[in-house]
């Protein structure tokens, strides 16, 4: 695995791969890698000749009072995992390399659709930071395919919309949610869970599955289902950020005649904010 800290040297290496007719797969991350990240790398490896992974903790997508300063940086462990996964190129820039004119002067990429609801409602500015850095990384790497996890369903939808709107020639590949044995979606923030909370956090996934099963059985009272699911999560001792039954494409509240539905939930523990989702066809 070759490691690059600078845009110019990474581009030079990738230009040679393109001249050889190789396809390039890309997995953008913020590091602190776990099995779910490695599954993204494995999927990129299956579909492309060359795999590029980026590790960059993007301050632009963290809001006030969020955990940018304390976000785990585990570079040596991350590199060891990527070598085992046969990553070809690791791009690990510093902030000055990504934002050479400073973040205050950085040109922003703004997607007006789907960014002010769900996670966007509770994390103002978050998706502006995501779309800006992902657009920059796409321009730097110029991959044929980029792999994102379905766990961050809203992020996936926003990036797909950005790619469509800006005519970016990248195929977005969606990877299934990688879960713990009890159903908890694997996340870097799971490390913030206390020993007391850990046995109870599966309630988020359980509530999503319960609502999905209720809809499949014919229930269409979506608002009541959302309220009942919130009550289940609160009874388990957690604060609900949102629990919403949405149209899978535009993330608007689901209509009774929608055929593709995604149920999305977010909740707060004492030290973490966890998200998850379940999709179904009706």
Asked if pLDDT for residue 65 goes beyond 70, the answer is no
Query: Is there a contact between 241 and 264 (Cβ–Cβ < 8 Å)?
Result: no
- Domains identified in the chain and CATH numbers: 2-175 (3.40.50.620), 188-281 (3.30.1300.10)
Phi, psi of 269 (to 5 degrees): -100, -170
State the catalytic residue, choosing from 5, 6, 34, 37: 37
Percent of the chain with pLDDT over 70: 99
Sorting pLDDT into bands at 50, 70 and 90, what band is 36? very high
Please name the residues in contact with 100: beta carbons below 8 A apart, sequence gap of 6 or more: none
The model's pLDDT over 187-221, given as tens digits with 9 standing for 90+, comes to 988 888 999 999 999 999 999 999 999 999 999 99
Asked if pLDDT for residue 251 goes beyond 80, the answer is yes
The model's pLDDT over 170-193, given as tens digits with 9 standing for 90+, comes to 999 999 999 999 999 999 888 889
Q: Which of 141, 125, 126 is nearest to 55 (CA)?
A: 141
Least confident stretch, 19-33, 67-81, 220-234? 67-81
The model's pLDDT over 153-169, given as tens digits with 9 standing for 90+, comes to 999 999 999 999 999 99
What separation, in Å, do the N-terminal and C-terminal C-alpha atoms of the chain show?
45
Q: What is the pLDDT of residue 67?
A: 75
92 is catalytic: no
């Amino acid at each position: 695995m070759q490691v690059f800290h600078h845009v110019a040297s990474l581009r030079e290496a990738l230009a040679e791969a393109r001249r050889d007719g190789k396809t390039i797969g890309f997995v953008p991350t913020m590091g602190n890698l776990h099995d779910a990240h490695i599954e993204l790398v494995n999927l990129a490896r299956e579909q492309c000749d060359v795999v590029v992974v980026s590790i960059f903790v993007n301050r632009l997508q963290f809001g006030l009072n969020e955990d940018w300063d304390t976000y785990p940086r585990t570079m040596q462990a991350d590199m060891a995992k990527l070598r085992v996964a046969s990553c070809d190129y690791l791009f690990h820039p510093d902030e000055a390399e990504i934002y050479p004119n400073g973040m205050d002067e950085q040109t922003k990429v703004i997607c007006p659709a789907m960014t002010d609801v769900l996670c966007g409602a509770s994390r103002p500015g978050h998706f502006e930071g995501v779309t800006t850095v992902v657009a920059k990384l796409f321009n730097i790497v110029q991959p044929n395919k980029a792999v994102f996890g379905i766990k961050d369903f809203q992020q996936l939808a926003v990036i797909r919309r950005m790619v469509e709107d800006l005519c970016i020639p990248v195929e977005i590949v969606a990877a299934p949610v990688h879960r713990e044995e009890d159903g908890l979606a694997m996340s870097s923030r799971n490390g913030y869970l206390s020993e007391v909370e850990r046995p109870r956090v599966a309630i988020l996934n359980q509530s999503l599955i319960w609502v999905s099963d209720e809809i499949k059985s014919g229930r269409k009272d979506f608002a009541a289902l959302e309220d009942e699911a919130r009550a289940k999560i609160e009874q388990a001792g957690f604060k609900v950020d949102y629990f919403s039954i949405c149209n899978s494409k535009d993330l608007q509240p689901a209509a009774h005649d929608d055929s593709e539905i995604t149920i999305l939930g977010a909740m707060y523990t004492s030290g973490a904010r966890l998200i998850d989702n379940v999709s179904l066809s009706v």
